[in-house]
Structure 1
């Protein structure tokens, strides 16, 4: 049976700050993130199966990524809870509801590693996460590949 890759695109807006960074990104700033999620698996070949002819229903993949990533990160301010930014987070929470504290520096690279774990644990049996691509800007992105991990 042939393995097929499926890719679904998502986007979300978020702000972050990189504590200890030596450039402009040490300041709170925002991005229009673009996330590409690629899974791989065999085509279901069972005329009695409701998903016959599919690897995975795009709607099912959308539900996983929306609930694990987009609904949490969209329009959030993302800060490292292991940095002095935790004080800023407390102040922001007085005025904003979407302040997300991570246990990592919220770089594009670390966000991808986090997203990969969250998505992988929700995929059905036989379906593997192949890759993720996260654009922070139109010209800057990071990629995660299962074969590298």
Structure 2
């Protein structure tokens, strides 16, 4: 099994007004996203994926939707106020995201969802897949999305669902 990890930094504000603590307030982070791709084979060029092809699509989406904007929840009244003022706002629960609040876990899930599309655009081969997405909002706070097809077998090895074309 081959893996490759591709990353990107972006700057975005968010808030979680539905919970107690400092995160109730609008605040910003320099976020780091790391997408782990996997495949049982390499492509004809001897690569899992051509890095720049994937990163170009990934960066374009993140820069257009999240970077230097605010990530807010669908029930956050601040979302409509900022949108009305012309600010970039990504609304969780509406804009490409089933999750209602911009937690670090939800950002990881959002990027995992998008990453499958970025991979298809960068390299349409059928045996490559998104294995994991790690997102850090600070150096000490991060969350991961792990592909549900990765299943712990109870032994010392992890098994995974390999697309039929790769078997």
Q: TM-score, structure 2 length as denominator? A: 0.76
Q: Equivalent residue for 1:66?
A: 59
Distance change >3 Å, CA 68–CA 126, structure 1 → 2: farther
Name the CA distance, whole Å, in 2 between partners of 1:14 and 1:61: 22
The 8 Å contact of residues 7 and 39 in structure 1, kept in 2 or not, is answered as yes
CA offsets per residue over residues 77-126 of structure 1, 9 Å max, x none? 11111x1x2x3222222434311211011000011111111111342322
For the 8 Å contact 1:19–1:105, the answer to whether it is kept is no
Return 5+ residue gaps in structure 2 as ranges.
94-99, 152-167
Contact kept, 8 Å, 1:73 with 1:100, in 2: the verdict is yes
Q: What is the alpha-carbon root mean square deviation over aligned residues?
A: 1.8
Query: Does residue 18 of structure 1 match 2:11?
Result: no
Distance in structure 2 (CA, Å) of the matches to 1:22 and 1:63:
38
Of residues 90-99 and 129-138 in structure 1, the stretch that sits farther from structure 2 once superposed is 90-99
Q: Which residue number in structure 2 is paired with residue 56 of structure 1?
A: 49
Q: Distance in 2 between matches of 1:145 and 1:90?
A: 32
Q: Which structure 2 residues correspond to residues 41-120 of structure 1 after superposition, within 5 A? A: 41=39, 42-44=41-43, 46=44, 52-81=45-74, 83=75, 85=76, 87-103=77-93, 104-120=100-116
Counting matched residue pairs gives 138
CA distance in 1, matches of 2:48, 2:21: 43
* TM-score normalized with structure 1 length: 0.84
How far apart, CA to CA, are the structure 2 residues paired with 1:71 and 1:127? 25
Q: List alignment gaps of at least 5 residues for structure 1.
A: 47-51
Q: Tell me if the contact between 1:11 and 1:70 (Cα under 8 Å) persists in the aligned partners.
A: no
Conserved 8 A contact 1:68-1:119:
no
